[in-house]
């Protein structure tokens, strides 16, 4: 009953205040070549892709965090589980956090089964996401190539590649000669600083336009009736008898049947509002782009030995990243030594890129967990859930994270794909430590 | 670039140092109950603000010491030798 009343309230509010905004789910414009031509000829203004409603007093589900993960959670809650009385609360703007700060790489080249199955499901969702959302997220399966520089790395790559194939994931080992003929800019000579022995390729890996993921999910969720509320920071939680019943925000108190946290980078701070300590430290990870140039690199190249990765964006910039700064940080910016390291690694592998100018650098805050794997599931407070602890790997997880987070919220039990990513696994000794680095969050 | 004030060598470039993490973590007694060990090994306050942390001056005096640093701004507020209190403004 309450839900019906609220929907009526909202309809009247939209009619009164925002006549130019479309009604959710009714006249959602289908994006197509024909609508593009139509608007080009008519010069009619495009309708806004989502509304900006005032927060209601109460929602069935409140999702904290308007990045890819939070918006995907809301979308799948509405689409798969029919829970449409949902709000996404974002303290800044959509995709202004890590969704807009990553290096856009998607892949599922993991060794351990929980990771392999989860990220492979995510990659499958990426493959059809543009059609699913009617929004071009520019999934580009250009391949992700992990370079191998030493015999030890060769053994590890073979082992991981075979594990991937046994899990039904595409993997292919390339010889040094195959890599040299495919990527002529890469220094494959035996005298290079980091000689290349071969590489493990995941052909279906690649890149996705990161901003479009947030926008696509936002538009699709809004069309299903989800309220997306920006400039609304959660400052506290209302907890009664061990269950969360709402959140306090900079735009007033909002009641909630259930609350999902999707704020990687700040998970510790939001969980703290519910009195929960997490096995997470926040660290800054930097990325950078060169000036834009003509197409020069048509895949994603990574090197674990020097911890470096590079791809070329559709604008032509070379997008690069490397290690964490290795100290706790919430600053969203890092320091020069890591930038120098990344550039050095780049020039050792691609000497010709030394002629380019570095255009921009930035930082994002990573939830570094104690085993390098995410935490997706129920929290010790009833009706409170989280998806976070993504370390470096959050972007590629976005669709699957939203899918299983929504499932967990809707059914109050995990989906088989996130059943192993519990918060309790640390106390139970069931950590999923892909790298075997132990409980040193900055070492993963 | 961060200048880390080593209590023995004075302010030096951050590349001379290795990070040792949260210094407030305390190892429990060997017969302490399991939740205390879980807390020690895995759980962290992860403060957004001043953090008491350990740094190691590997390219200098090779000593471990405390740094009080703001995780929001990277501003170093104080440093101290192991077992000494923080003395603001030094270094």
CATH number at residue A263: 3.50.50.60
Q: How many domains does chain A have?
A: 1
Q: How many domains does chain B have?
A: 1
A25 has a pLDDT exceeding 70 = no
- Give a yes or no: residue A160 inside a domain: no
Q: List pLDDT tens digits, range B32-74.
A: 999 999 999 999 999 999 999 999 999 999 999 999 999 999 9
Most A CBs within 10 Å, among B20, B44, B58, B73, to test the A interface: B44
- Give a yes or no: residue A246 inside a domain: yes
- Which of B19, B42, B71 is facing A370, going by the closest CB pair? B42
Q: Which residue has the higher pLDDT, A29 or A145?
A: A145
Q: Please compute the mean of the pLDDT values over residues A380-396 and round it to a whole number.
A: 97
Residue A207 CB coordination number (10 Å)? 26
A23 has a pLDDT exceeding 90 = no
CATH code of the domain containing B46: 3.30.2270.10
Most B CBs within 10 Å, among A269, A273, A328, A363, to test the B interface: A328
Residue B58, chain A, CB below 8 Å: the answer is no
Q: Please compute the mean of the pLDDT values over residues A246-275 and round it to a whole number.
A: 98
Contact indicator for A142, A298 with CB cutoff of 8 Å: yes
First vs last C-alpha separation in chain B: 16
CA distance B41 to B26: 10
Residues B35, A427: C-beta atoms closer than 8 Å: yes
Residue A430, chain B, CB below 8 Å: the answer is no
Structure-token match 């392999």, residue found: A116
Q: How many CB pairs under 8 A join A and B?
A: 69
Strand-pair partners of A423: none
- Summary mean pLDDT of chain B: 94
Residues B48, A282: C-beta atoms closer than 8 Å: yes
Q: Shortest Cα distance from B84 to chain A (angstroms)?
A: 22
In this predicted structure, what is the pLDDT of residue A27?
A: 53
- Which of A280, A330, A336 is facing B48, going by the closest CB pair? A330
Distances (CA, A) of A248 to A15, A70, A120, B65: 28, 18, 37, 40
Residue B31, chain A, CB below 8 Å: the answer is no
Q: List pLDDT tens digits, range A359-377.
A: 999 999 999 999 999 999 9
Q: Please compute the mean of the pLDDT values over residues A1-29 and round it to a whole number.
A: 43
In this prediction, residue B89 has a pLDDT band, given cuts at 50, 70 and 90, of: low
In this predicted structure, what is the pLDDT of residue B88?
A: 62
- Give a yes or no: residue A186 inside a domain: no
CA distance A95 to A74: 14
B83 has a pLDDT exceeding 90 = yes
Contact indicator for A268, B44 with CB cutoff of 8 Å: yes
- Give a yes or no: residue B43 inside a domain: yes
| Residue A327 with chain B: CB contacts under 8 Å | 19, 53, 69
Q: List pLDDT tens digits, range A93-102.
A: 999 999 999 9
A22 has a pLDDT exceeding 90 = no
- Residue A75, domain extent: 2-101+210-279+372-443
- Residue B23, domain extent: 3-81
Nearest of A299, A288, A259 to residue A385 by alpha carbon: A259
Give the CA angle between residues A71, A74, A75 to the nearest 5°.
85
In this predicted structure, what is the pLDDT of residue A11?
A: 39
Residue B16, chain A, CB below 8 Å: the answer is no
- Give a yes or no: residue B91 inside a domain: no
Q: Shortest Cα distance from A231 to chain B (angstroms)?
A: 20
- Give a yes or no: residue A30 inside a domain: yes
- Give a yes or no: residue A365 inside a domain: no
- Give a yes or no: residue A181 inside a domain: no
Residue A330, chain B, CB below 8 Å: the answer is yes
In this predicted structure, what is the pLDDT of residue A161?
A: 98
Q: List pLDDT tens digits, range A35-88.
A: 999 999 998 888 899 999 999 999 999 999 999 999 999 999 999 999 999 999
Residue A427, chain B, CB below 8 Å: the answer is yes
State which residue of chain A sits closest to B43, comparing Cα positions. A279
- Give a yes or no: residue A144 inside a domain: no
- Give a yes or no: residue A165 inside a domain: no
Q: Please compute the mean of the pLDDT values over residues A432-439 and round it to a whole number.
A: 91
Residue B85 CB coordination number (10 Å)? 8
Q: Please compute the mean of the pLDDT values over residues A198-208 and round it to a whole number.
A: 98
Q: List pLDDT tens digits, range A307-340.
A: 999 999 999 999 999 999 999 999 999 999 999 9
In this predicted structure, what is the pLDDT of residue A133?
A: 97
First vs last C-alpha separation in chain A: 49
Structure tokens at A106: 């998607």
Q: What is the ipTM of this complex?
A: 0.95
């Amino acid at each position: 009953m309450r839900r019906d009343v609220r929907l009526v309230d909202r309809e009247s509010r939209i009619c009164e205040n925002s006549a130019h905004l479309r009604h959710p789910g009714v006249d959602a414009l289908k994006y197509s070549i024909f609508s593009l031509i139509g608007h080009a000829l008519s010069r009619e203004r495009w309708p806004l892709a989502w509304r900006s409603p005032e927060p209601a007093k109460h929602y069935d589900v409140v999702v904290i965090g308007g990045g890819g993960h939070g918006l995907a959670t809301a979308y799948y809650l509405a689409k798969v589980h029919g829970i449409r009385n949902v709000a996404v609360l974002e303290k800044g703007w959509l995709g202004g956090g890590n969704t807009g700060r990553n290096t856009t790489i998607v892949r599922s080249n993991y060794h351990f089964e929980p990771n392999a199955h989860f990220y492979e499901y995510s990659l499958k969702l990426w493959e059809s996401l543009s059609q699913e959302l009617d929004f071009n997220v520019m999934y580009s399966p250009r391949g992700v190539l992990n370079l191998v520089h030493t015999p030890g790395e060769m053994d590890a790559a073979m082992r991981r590649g075979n594990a991937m194939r046994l899990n039904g994931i595409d993997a292919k080992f390339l010889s040094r000669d195959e890599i040299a003929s495919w990527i002529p800019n890469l220094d494959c000579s035996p005298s290079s600083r980091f000689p290349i022995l071969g590489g493990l390729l995941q052909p279906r890996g690649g890149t996705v336009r990161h901003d479009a993921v947030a926008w696509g999910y936002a538009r699709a969720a809004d069309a299903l009736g989800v309220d997306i509320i920006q400039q609304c920071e959660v400052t506290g939680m209302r907890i009664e008898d061990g269950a969360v019943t709402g959140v306090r925000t900079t735009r007033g108190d909002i009641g909630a049947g259930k609350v999902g946290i999707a704020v990687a980078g700040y998970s510790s701070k939001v969980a703290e509002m519910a009195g929960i300590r997490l096995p997470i430290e926040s660290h800054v990870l930097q990325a950078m782009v060169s000036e834009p140039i003509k197409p020069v690199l048509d895949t994603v190249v990574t090197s674990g030995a020097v911890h470096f990765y590079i791809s070329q964006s559709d604008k032509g910039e070379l997008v690069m990243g490397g290690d964490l700064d290795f100290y706790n940080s919430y600053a969203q910016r890092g320091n020069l030594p890591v930038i120098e390291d990344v550039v050095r690694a780049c020039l050792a592998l691609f000497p010709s890129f030394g002629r380019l100018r570095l255009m921009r650098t930035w930082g994002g805050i990573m939830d570094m967990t104690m085993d390098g794997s995410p935490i997706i599931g129920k929290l010790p407070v009833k009706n409170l859930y989280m998806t976070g602890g993504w370390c470096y790997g959050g972007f590629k997880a976005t669709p699957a994270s939203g899918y299983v987070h929504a499932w967990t919220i809707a059914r109050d039990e995990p989906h088989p794909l996130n059943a192993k990513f519990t918060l309790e696994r640390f106390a139970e000794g069931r950590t999923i430590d892909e790298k075997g680095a132990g409980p040193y969050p900055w070492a993963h | 670039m961060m200048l880390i004030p080593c209590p023995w060598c004075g302010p030096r470039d951050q590349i001379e140092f290795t990070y040792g993490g949260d210094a407030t973590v305390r190892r429990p007694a060997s017969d302490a109950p399991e939740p205390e060990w879980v807390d020690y090994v895995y759980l962290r306050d992860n403060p957004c603000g001043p953090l008491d942390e350990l740094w190691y001056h590997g390219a200098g005096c090779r000593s471990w010491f405390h740094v009080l640093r703001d995780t929001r701004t990277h501003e170093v507020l104080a440093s101290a030798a192991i077992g000494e209190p923080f003395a603001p403004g030094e270094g």
